[in-house]
Chain A
Amino acid sequence: MLNLFLDIDPPTIFNAHNNFQTLTTYIIGALLAGFGILFALLKAPPQTRRGIVFFVTFISGFFYVLLFIWPSPINRSKGDAPINGFDNVGFWLADAQPVVSTMTQIIGGFLIGLGIFSLMRIHLKRIVKGGGDAPFSFTLVLSMILMIIFGFWDFHQRQQPGAGPLLDNQANWGFVNYAKDYLFDGMLQEMEAAMFSIIAFYILSAAYRAFRVRSIEATILLTTALIVILSLMSVVEYQWGEMVNSVAGGNKNSFVQNFTLTNVAGWIRASVQQPSIRGIDFGVGIGLLAMSLRIWLSLERAGE
């Protein structure tokens, strides 16, 4: 079995140490090879291209299917060796998994690059064309460029010998660090919080307009929602509990104790909400399985 995924010393191309020269060489080599393959794929006839995409997709999916169903080594320690071919596959899968995981991380990283490319293509076109939306596109592109520049500049400074812990102290910050902090914490993070805060306004407005006792179903929904909302208000929950307790005469085993807000909301959660969610999740799971199979076997032709 191939040993290129094993954690061996000296390291192979797949488990190279985080050493600047060798890793840089590997990265540049991989990039060039990647672009070469991409270029060749673009030039290939559609039928061949489809076949290659099908093959790669199938192999990638098949790896994880095998990993899931094939018995894997338990309590494995360094130096353990497979005793037969069956074991050999299990060892190989276990060794290869972190490498395959790293590959998925890298592909994920490339997706960010693809996103940037796509954003730039659309918004640069809009800026060049002009029109009502051009200022928004300009703001987006400018914000992205500024964040990239100052983000990487700050990162680069922190990677310098001795600079990392030093720059954790704000007293040692320079213009670049302040600029990055202003852009990230001062603007991006605060705008994110503001964006999500807006949801509260929509929820209030929607609750006011939609929660009306128009039918039996709507009444059931409204009553349930009110009980759950009240159970989140500890003052109401506590006082209701005290009231029920006094009606029960302090008897913790009294039947009346079932009607504390905690118990009623708990019953709704355990007997109505959770089974419903489980049912929905089960349906979604089956749907996902079917969709995954279609993608894995390249039967999904959407987007072609």
Chain B
Amino acid sequence: MSIGEKLQSLPKWILFLCLIVTASVLQFFNIPLPNKPQDPAIDYYAFAMSIPPGSTVLVSSDWTNSTHGESGPQFDALMRILMRRNIKFAVYTTADGQAPQVAKDEIRRLNEQRVKDGERPYRPFEDYVMVGYFPSAEGENLAMSINLRSAFAGKKDFPEGAKEPVDIWQSPVLKDIKDISDVKALFLISASNTDQIIIERLAAKVPLVYAVTGISAPQNFNYYSSGQLKGLVGGLKGIYDLEYLMTSGVNHPGADGKIAVASTRVPGDVPPLPGRNQGLGTAYFPTLHAALALMILAIIIGNVGMFMARKAQGASK
């Protein structure tokens, strides 16, 4: 077998071993990477920061651990923004029966971190409510667009210290909400097709802001560029952009007077978010770099091998 043929047929285990090593080793290092956030993420951050404190938003948490690498940091970053800005939220899902428990666990973990960092814990029922899972995404989102109160009717959650669960419509989160248009925004963290369903059913009723997996991002760019989405975070690059923006702000001069992220899309100065902002997105991003670099290297090796083999065949003829 010639070198060209060998380069074209590397055993799978070598590729897999390289991937395991590159993906694992970088997890142990905190490597700051230069970045230029993309417009959809800038719009996402600017929109989230424009929501008045004390108002209520909906969070459609349609992900589980299968996409934790992307959806987990997206959920964390959104929660950090909402919690720090004292924005109330109601979490529901129409994608997966496991999703409410995953969201609950994540909120609990973030609350523990907040307490450690000297921030107040976000209180269930007072600051947020868990609405739960609805098996029919089409039916539920349509019902929400017509009558939000009926769509969430009968759902209960535990106020702090309460012995019995109480109707979520009595909570400070939802008590003043009559209609979906009273909700300031619907934030979606999705690893399923609910992004399409929500666009179809709710785009005309409430501002939509999406965080989706890298694979769904191209499809959602259509809705972003048409203005149906107020902001879009796609995949790990999107979440790295968002965490970067949470640290630097937009059009905001830093301590040295320099503006780290300048954008003509956003009028005025959007300040950074005080406190801990760099999370899993920043931690995972170097790994994505290494994995993509490995993929490019593998493609180059395969093509070099193919050319060498062709050249050798041509010479022998």
Same assembly: yes
Q: Which residues of A contact B55 (CB under 8 A)?
A: none
Q: Check B30 for interface membership: any CB of A closer than 8 A.
A: no
Within 8 A of A (CB), among B217-261: 218-219, 221-222, 225, 235-237, 240
Say whether A143 faces chain B, with CB atoms less than 8 Å apart: no
Q: Does B33 contact A (CB under 8 A)?
A: yes
Q: Which residues of A contact B12 (CB under 8 A)?
A: 205
- Which residues on the A side are within 8 Å of B161 (C-beta)? 165
Q: Do A204 and B163 touch (CB < 8 A)?
A: no
Instruction: Tell me which of A72, A212, A233 contacts B292 (CB under 8 A).
Output: A233
Query: CB < 8 Å: which of A72, A109, A262 contacts B146?
Result: A72
Given A164-B165, A238-B35, A204 and B147 contact (CB-CB distance below 8 Å): no
B120 at the interface (CB under 8 A from A): no
Q: In the assembled complex, how far is the CB of residue A59 from the closest CB belonging to chain B, in whole angstroms?
A: 16
Question: What is the minimal beta-carbon distance from A102 to any residue of chain B, in angstroms?
Answer: 8
A200 partner residues in chain B, CB cutoff 8 A: 19, 23, 291
Stretch at the interface among A79-87, A171-179, A189-197: A189-197
B65 to chain A, nearest CB (A): 4
CB pair A233–B64 under 8 Å, yes or no, is no
State in angstroms the CA–CA spacing of A94 and B221 once bound together: 33
Shortest beta-carbon distance from B300 to chain A in Å: 10
Q: Is A213 an interface residue (CB 8 A)?
A: yes
The closest CB in chain A to the CB of B234 belongs to A232
- Once the chains bind, are B160 and A165 in contact (CB under 8 Å)? yes
Residues 41-70 (chain B) with a chain A CB within 8 angstroms? 64-69
Question: Do A165 and B124 touch across chains, with their CB atoms under 8 A apart?
Answer: yes
A94 nearest in chain B by CB position: B146
From A195, A203, A208, residue with most partner B Cβ within 10 Å: A208
**Closest residue to B31 on the A side, CB-wise?**
A235
Cβ of B81 within 8 Å of any chain A Cβ, yes or no, is: no
A108-B142 contact in complex given A168-B108, A188-B98, A192-B66, C-beta closer than 8 Å: no
Residues of B within 8 A of A232 (CB): 214, 235-237, 288, 292
CA distance A195 to B67 in the complex (A): 10
- A212 and B222 contacting across the interface, CB-CB below 8 Å: no
Complex contact B225–A270 (CB within 8 A): yes
Give residues of chain A (48-87) contacting chain B, Cβ–Cβ below 8 Å: 67, 72
Given A233-B293, A235-B289, are A105 and B140 also a contact pair (CB < 8 Å)? yes
A108 lies within 8 A of B135 (CB): yes
Complex Cα distance, B291 from A201, in Å, reads 10
B contact residues around A248 at 8 Å (CB)? none
Flag whether B306 is at the interface (Cβ < 8 A): yes
Mark each residue of chain B from 275 to 311: 1 if its CB lies under 8 Å from any CB of chain A, else 0.
Answer: 0000000000100110111111011011100100000
Complex Cα–Cα for A143 and B158 (A): 30
Q: Is B117 an interface residue (CB 8 A)?
A: no
Partner-contacting stretch, out of A29-37, A118-126, A129-137, A272-280: A272-280
Q: Are A98 and B150 interface neighbours, CB within 8 A?
A: yes
Chain B, range 123-138, C-beta contacts under 8 Å to A: 124, 134-136, 138
A278 touches B66 (CB 8 A): no
**Is A300 part of the binding interface, using a Cβ–Cβ cutoff of 8 Å?**
no
B306 — nearest CB in chain A belongs to which residue? Answer: A212
Residues of chain B with a CB closer than 8 A to A188's CB:
98
Chain B residues, CB < 8 A from A233: 288-289, 292-293
Contact of A208 with B302 at beta-carbon distance under 8 Å, contacts A101-B143, A234-B35 already known: yes
Asked if B154 is at the interface (CB within 8 A of a chain A CB), the reply is yes
11-64 of chain A: CB within 8 A of chain B: 15, 17-18
Whether A192 touches B295, Cβ cut-off 8 Å, given contacts A18-B154, A98-B150, A234-B35, is no
Among A7, A188, A204, find the residue whose CB has the most chain B CB atoms closer than 10 A: A204
Nearest-CB distance from A267 to chain B (Å)? 13
Question: Is B101's beta carbon under 8 Å from chain A?
Answer: yes
Whole-angstrom distance between the Cβ of B204 and the nearest chain A Cβ = 12
B110 within 8 A of A: no
Answer yes or no: A229 CB below 8 A from chain B CBs.
yes
A101 touches B135 (CB 8 A): no
Q: Give the 9 A-B residue pairs with the shortest CB-CB distance, closest first.
A: A108-B135, A98-B150, A101-B143, A104-B139, A189-B65, A162-B163, A208-B298, A101-B139, A164-B158
Question: What are 9 sample pairs from A and B whose C-beta atoms fall under 8 A apart?
Answer: A97-B146, A108-B136, A162-B163, A192-B66, A212-B302, A229-B292, A232-B237, A234-B34, A270-B221
Beyond the given pairs A195-B66, A277-B218, A278-B222, 12 more chain A to chain B contacts, judged by CB atoms under 8 angstroms and listed by A's residue number, are A100-B139, A101-B151, A105-B140, A161-B163, A168-B108, A189-B102, A204-B291, A204-B294, A207-B299, A234-B33, A234-B35, A262-B38
Interface residues of A (CB under 8 A from B): 7, 15, 17-18, 67, 72, 94, 97-98, 100-102, 104-105, 107-109, 111-112, 159, 161-162, 164-165, 168, 184-185, 188-190, 192-193, 195-196, 200-201, 203-205, 207-209, 211-214, 222, 226, 229-230, 232-235, 237-239, 241, 262, 269-270, 273-274, 277-278, 281
